[in-house]
Amino acid sequence: MTTSNKRSKGFTLIELLVVITIIGVLTSLFVANMVSVRERAKDSQKKSNLNEFKTALRLYYNDNQNYPDVSEVPAQGSPFVGTGGVVYMQEVPEYASYTVDATGDGFTLGVDLDNLSDTEICESWSRCGENSCVIGTSATYYVCAD
């Protein structure tokens, strides 16, 4: 009688579980990173749009020697048209706040960002005269008249 010591070819249950666990960990890291990348890209677009709006407000100032009152700034998605039909911006971007000082010579424009750890948030606060920003708690990014 001959006995053969044939081992079955394949993977053990432990090997399969280790590989599945590694794949799961890598997938979760990748997905978390992709969410962060999308968040930063969206915030970058919001900042860019806000700076374009700032430029439109400066053009308005050049024509009128003051910034528009809060009631004169159109809602998001509307065109920004001044007196005489001058179009300063085809479509006003998303913004969270707009304030103009009493003299009409300065403004502050803000937008809420998704990434609370963005260091430019607090930098924008200090540029615009605010001092109470805490990284990780404040979401509003500001631009103001220079």
Residue 116's pLDDT band, with cuts at 50, 70 and 90, is confident
Cα–Cα dist 4/145, whole Å: 87
Q: Looking at the predicted structure, is the pLDDT value of residue 1 above 60?
A: no
pLDDT of amino acid 9? 80
The CATH number of 13-144 is which of 3.30.700, 3.40.50, 3.60.21, 3.90.1200?
A: 3.30.700
Q: How does pLDDT run across 48-90, given as a tens digit for each residue?
A: 999 999 999 999 999 999 999 999 999 999 999 998 899 999 9
What are the residue ranges spanned by the domains of the chain? Answer: 13-144
Closest CA to 110 of 121, 118, 101, 126: 121
pLDDT of amino acid 57? 95
Q: What integer is the mean pLDDT of 25-36?
A: 84
Mean pLDDT of the chain: 89
